[in-house]
A and B are shown apart, each in its own frame.
Chain A
């Protein structure tokens, strides 16, 4: 059921807490974990401005992949770049692409609970994911 797990991380403290949970599940299921970070860009004066710079995203995701591999879990990095506000849709799309049986994510937010508000990332992923979502607080 959970042979492929999508771990969606955003760099927040909440998403750091999801890593050991995903690792433990993956070990039980001998699952392959796709570590996804979706970075956003925004349009300013006609040019694209990255909210998360590419090299930072890469270093961050690679760090999580290494952590999972050190725990004996097979893991791959996936970085996507989308327009502002498109993060939840991208997470759901990648879950479908990798045929994930489970999405693991934190209750992300710049404040404690922002992301679960209507319109928040976690909220939208929950509402649109066709596979179960494990929310880690």
Chain B
């Protein structure tokens, strides 16, 4: 059922917690994991500014790929660069390209039972994903 897993990471605490969950499922299902990190850039005064450098992004994704390989899970990194606020769309695009049967990601939910609760990236991904989404807080 979950042969190809897309693990979307951003370096946050909850996204760190998503790594063992993805590893566990990949292990059980013999799945291959694509570790996706989408970095953003911003146009400011006519110039293109990276919110995060390519090196930082690669380090994050490669570190997680190593972590997965160390526990015997087949994994590869995937890095993308998009304009500010286009992260969810890119996650969905890569999920489609990789023909993922499961997306795993962290969610930065906060506040009380009434308030604004779910990270907006996770929110959009769950809304539009064609496959099940495993959210880890």
Contact = CB atoms under 8 A, between A and B. Distances in A.
Interface of A: 1-2, 21, 24-25, 28-29, 88-89, 107, 113, 116, 118-119, 122-124, 126-130, 132-137
Nearest to B21: A132
A132 B134 contact: yes
B132 A116 contact: no
Contact of B134 (A24, A122, A133, A137): A133
- Give the interface size class of chain B: 20 to 34
B30 to A, nearest CB: 10
Contacts of A133: 134-135
A4 B51 CA distance: 40
Nearest to A112: B127
Given A28-B29, A132-B136, A133-B134, A126 B107 contact: yes
Contacts of B133: 134-135, 137
A96 to B, nearest CB: 14
Interface of B: 1, 20-21, 24, 28-29, 107, 109-111, 113-118, 122-123, 126-127, 129-137
